[in-house]
Amino acid sequence: MNGHGRSGGRPTLEEVAARAGVGRGTASRVINGSSRVSEQTRAAVEAAVAELGYVPNRAARALAANRTDAVALVIPEPEARFFAEPYFSAVVSGVGAALAETDIQLVLTLAGSDRERRRLAQYLSGHRVDGVLLVSVHADDPLPDLLAELGIPTVISGRRSAAETLPCVDSDNLAGAADAVRHLLDRGRRTIATITGPLDVYGAQCRLDGYRQALAAAGRPADAELVAVGDFTEEGGGRAMRELLARRPSLDAVFAASDVMAAGARRELRAAGRRIPQDVALVGFDDSVVARHMDPPLTSVRQPIEEMGRTMARMLLEHVYGKRGAGAGAAAEDGTAADGYADAGGAGRDGSAVVLPNRLVVRESS
């Protein structure tokens, strides 16, 4: 028998078994790492693999196991927002890092329009991926329920509500927002406004709740004129800032629920002749690259976004493949535990929800 098998093509598992003098099933167990074989048998099969140059056919293995060895990262946002918002690239980076040392292929899908979502639903219903990571979910988004109906394992970033049923990874939005507002109060600011994210996103609602709780704890009455609803875009932040200045020209601080909206707010404050931080202190949320490059640099609530991406991917890997992927449990860049199954960096855990802590990074804008 030549080294390339009878047909001159790739050597088969049958040829490995024949060369080793064992049955096909035994050869398969050795190649797949089973411990249910003797050392003598393992040595014989490994020698046959080396002599024949046998390479396991991963595609055939995946097919036999009814697996695709691929997971989809689905971001139900338009392309323009994906590229404008640093949050998404950080999530992709974290997910990619968790999958880098596995054999799992990552499929990135943007689904910002109804047409794109219909196409995505059709794609997923063909079971072309083993699981889905879903980011930036609005309360009325049909995708999570569709995935549940299809029986596709799913992990989401950011809960849809306090009663989230899907496995999820989130950051402590309420506590982060409350820290930001307490910081402004400690700086002596008296008229603190907020620009919210879209309130059909649970995380945005939690940031608004944190703002309100911090003011209430300081004995400040709620003032609806100091709340403007934004949409996590720079234009939306600018529009909300104009509204706030028109309603309450005396405001002396703004907590924006994202750095990108804070950038829009800063532009409008400058146009209105307000100095930052002398006249109006400004705080954002995410601590993205936008925060560090603003003038003045922006005080912001740091979300461990890459870590959220890594933790999501590991949860899905364990659920689908029964493994956490390479590097699980390694230390994260900020020194916290990177294993979402322990209390990652002091995270609380509620069933299959992992909540990671945020922290305020103080810079010159406040």
Residue 196 shares a structural domain with residue 271: yes
**Amino acid identity of 157?**
S
Whether residues 204 and 136 fall in one domain:
no
- pLDDT for 242: 98
pLDDT at 295 over 80: yes
Question: Which token pair is 315?
Answer: 């949860």
Residue 111: predicted pLDDT: 86
Question: How far is 108 from 296, CA to CA, in rounded Å?
Answer: 35
90-94: list long-range contacts, CB under 8 Å, 24+ apart: 90/288, 90/305, 90/306, 90/309, 91/135, 91/157, 91/305, 91/306, 91/308, 91/309, 91/312, 92/309, 93/306, 93/309, 94/305, 94/306, 94/307, 94/308, 94/309, 94/310, 94/311, 94/312, 94/313
Q: Rounded to 10 degrees, what is the CA torsion of 215, 220, 221, 222?
A: -20
Do both 30 and 114 map to the same domain?
no
Would residue 5 count as lying in a domain? no
96 and 150 in a single domain? The answer is yes
Q: Summarize pLDDT for 265-274 with one digit per residue, the tens.
A: 999 999 999 9
Q: What is the CATH number of the domain that holds 108?
A: 3.40.50.2300
284: β partners: 300
**254 and 187 in one domain?**
yes
Residues 84 and 229 grouped into a single domain: no
Domains held by the chain: number: 3
To the nearest whole percent, how much of the chain has pLDDT over 70?
86
Q: Residues 60-96: pLDDT tens digits?
A: 555 555 667 889 999 888 888 888 788 888 999 999 9
| Tens digits of residue pLDDT in 124-134 | 888 889 999 99
Amino acid at 69: D
Helix (H/G/I), strand (E/B), else coil: 47: helix
Domain that holds residue 196: 173-302
Report yes or no: 282 and 366 within 8 Å, Cβ to Cβ. Answer: yes
Euclidean distance between the first and final Cα of the chain, in Å? 77
In a domain, 214, yes or no: yes
Do residues 163 and 177 share a domain? Answer: no
CATH of the domain at 17: 1.10.260.40
Give the burial string for 205-240 (b: 16+ CB within 10 Å, else e): bbbbebbbbbbeeeebeeeeebbbbbbbbbebbbbb
356 part of a folded domain: no
* 229-261 pLDDT, tens digit each: 999 999 999 999 999 999 999 999 999 999 999
pLDDT classification of 7: cutoffs 50, 70, 90: very low
Any domain includes 64: no
Using CA atoms, how far residue 258 sits from 76, 94, 300, in Å, is 18, 20, 8
Inter-residue contact 253 to 189 (CB < 8 Å): yes
pTM over 0.85: no
- In this structure, the answer to whether residues 214 and 258 fall within a common structural domain is yes
Q: Is 362 domain-assigned?
A: no
The answer to whether residue 62 is domain-embedded is no
Whether residues 24 and 113 fall in one domain: no
Q: How far apart (Å, rounded) are the C-alpha atoms in residues 220 and 190?
A: 9
DSSP H or E stretch at residue 170: strand 168-171
27 and 106 share a domain? no
As a whole number of Å, the CA-based R_g of the chain is 26
SS3 per residue for 142-155 = CHHHHHHHHCCCEE
Mean pLDDT for the chain overall: 85
Residue 364 lies in a domain: no
pLDDT higher than 50, residue 3: no
**In the predicted model, is pLDDT for residue 336 greater than 50?**
no
Q: Shortest CA distance to 206 belongs to which of 358, 95, 363?
A: 358
- Among all chains, which residue has been given the structure tokens 């306090």? 162
Rounded CA-CA distance 4/11 in Å is 5
pLDDT above 50: residue 330: no
Smallest CA-to-CA distance from 289 within 136, 88, 108, 81 is with 88
**Predicted local confidence at residue 323, as pLDDT:** 58
Higher pLDDT, 50 or 219: 219
- The span from the CA of 238 to the CA of 236, in Å, is 5
6 domain residue, yes or no? no
Pair 111, 34 in one domain: no
Domain ends where: 302, 327, 359? 302
- What are the tens digits of pLDDT across the range 13-51? 889 999 999 998 888 888 877 777 888 998 999 899 888
- Same domain, yes or no: 27 and 119: no
Q: What is the pLDDT, as a whole number, of residue 186?
A: 97
Angstrom distance (rounded) from CA 189 to CA 182:
10
Please answer whether residues 136 and 157 qualify as being in contact, where contact means their C-beta atoms are separated by less than 8 angstroms.
Answer: yes
